[in-house]
Structure 1
Amino acid sequence: MRELSLRLLFVWIICILFTGIFAYIARSIHVQSISNFDEPIIDFVQGAESPGVTSIMKLFTTIGSTTSVVLLALLILGVLVWKKHRAQAVLFAIALAGTGILNQVLKFVFKRERPDFHRLIDISGYSFPSGHTMMAFSFYTILAYIVWRNVVNSGSRVAIIFLATMMIIMIAVSRIYLGVHFPSDIVGGVLASSVWLFASIAFYQRLQRQKSGNLQTK
């Protein structure tokens, strides 16, 4: 129990820290002092433009789209329910649904306009924080967490973490490359989804530990 309490304390400290960094970025956007961070990264990423790279980036943006995420999420939820991992299915659903709601709320609050230069695809809506990044981070991180808990093979664990990390990075970078997000939108998205995701996992672990304790006392 003491180990769990210390773990939860660490998670809440991380959540508070990430919230503080998110607030700092949001303030920097508001006072228009974030360009020194955004512009060099945009120049570097978009400097790699070529027809082949553009096709790859459009592919990753499509993978990170709402339609793709919903279809993949339904497939994974079906597998979890079929395998009788109902608690993990609930965690997975709550993590993704909460991320989507949080993103829409934050976009409405900050109402940052998207970049208006060198845009390779047409898109509407506000820019901060990046919805693609938030959903990609939550989707692939929670998926990696669930696989980690259900697979004992170390090679499979390493593989899912590597795959999850690469998918998150590529989807996030594709948004900068295609000119629809600032890098600060990406960082803000990772921070926001991290807070929601870590809190959700911490709550899930606490409930599972309590459930296990109740079963042992019966």
Structure 2
Amino acid sequence: MYKQLKIFISKFKEFLSKKFQKYDGKIPYLVTVLITSIIVVYGIKFFVKLTKNLHTDVLSEFDTSVSNYITSFRSDLLTSYFKFVTDVGDALGYFVVVSLCSLLFYLFFKNWKYVLQLLSILILALSSNLILKQLINRQRPTLEHLVTVKTLSYPSGHAMTAMAFYGFLIYLIVTFKINKFLKFGLITVFTILILSIGISRIYLGVHFPSDIVGGFVAGFIWVVFCILVLNLFKVFREDPNTINLY
């Protein structure tokens, strides 16, 4: 009996292996799709909840305490640094960075797809931010503004765009087959840049901390959503019959 059971299990394993062998290469993509889908759903839920609580006392106290703490460090040196960083997160800054990325990607990969992906997520983040600002209509803080601003406050366009653009750039760098020390260095630099751009907006007095949190969350949702779409494309590109409606 034991011998027969052992043979049956062995045959069954062999059957499963043959049956699902063609899907082995897609498993990493499918797992990524599942994880990113969950993150997108819960990210949206968190953003909506945060937005609904913008005018609560708890969030107001959070904004006040964090803003006071960060602005207490104001100095000529830090002001110069954060003004530079906030400029990097503006239109001219992205023009320079996208131009450099385009040149490097073409030289090393001979492919424009990465540039198109970066431009796509940048456009998505910018356009959706403008829409969200108009829908939510939150005014800027009344603190002293160290830079000129003309748009509404929530979510922070600088924080949202920085997270979306540089966050996706970090994802691309993770997928590149390059020197691990160079990869670690680039990821560290871009992570610091994302955080610095967000903090700069509070330091310069033009955003509430909750604006930055909302911007980061919204930008991160775009990063994960684009990763989700790219992995779906990879699955369907390898096997056009993946979707079978009948």
TM-score in same-fold range (> 0.5): yes
Matched positions, count: 214
Q: AA paired with 2:45?
A: G
1:44-55 aligned at under 5 Å gives the runs 44-55=69-80
Structure 1 equivalent of residue 184 of structure 2: 158
Deviation at 1:152, TM superposition (A): 3.1
Aligned match of 2:61 in 20, 36, 45? 36
Instruction: Among all aligned residue pairs of Structure 1 and Structure 2, give the percentage whose two residues are the same amino acid.
Output: 28
8 Å CA contact retained: 1:91, 1:204: no
Q: AA paired with 1:61?
A: T
Deviation at 1:37, TM superposition (A): 1.5
Identify which range, 130-139 or 174-183, moves more after superposition. Answer: 130-139
The two structures have a TM-score, normalised by structure 2, of 0.81
State the distance in 1 between where 2:224 and 2:192 align.
20
State the distance in 1 between where 2:188 and 2:84 align.
19
Matched, 1:111 2:145: no
Aligned match of 2:193 in 167, 171, 176? 167
Structure 2 residue runs of 5 or longer lacking an equivalent are 1-25, 241-246
Structure 2 equivalent of residue 126 of structure 1: 152
Q: Radius of gyration: which is bigger?
A: 2
Q: What is the RMSD of the two structures over their aligned residues, measured on CA atoms?
A: 1.8
8 Å CA contact retained: 2:82, 2:196: yes
Q: AA paired with 2:85?
A: F
The two structures have a TM-score, normalised by structure 1, of 0.90
Deviation at 1:79, TM superposition (A): 3.6
Structure 1 residue runs of 5 or longer lacking an equivalent are none
Runs ≥4 residues deviating over 6 A: none
8 Å CA contact retained: 1:144, 1:161: yes
Deviation at 1:105, TM superposition (A): 0.8
Structure 2 equivalent of residue 80 of structure 1: 105
8 Å CA contact retained: 1:80, 1:88: yes
8 Å CA contact retained: 1:42, 1:177: yes
Deviation at 1:96, TM superposition (A): 0.9
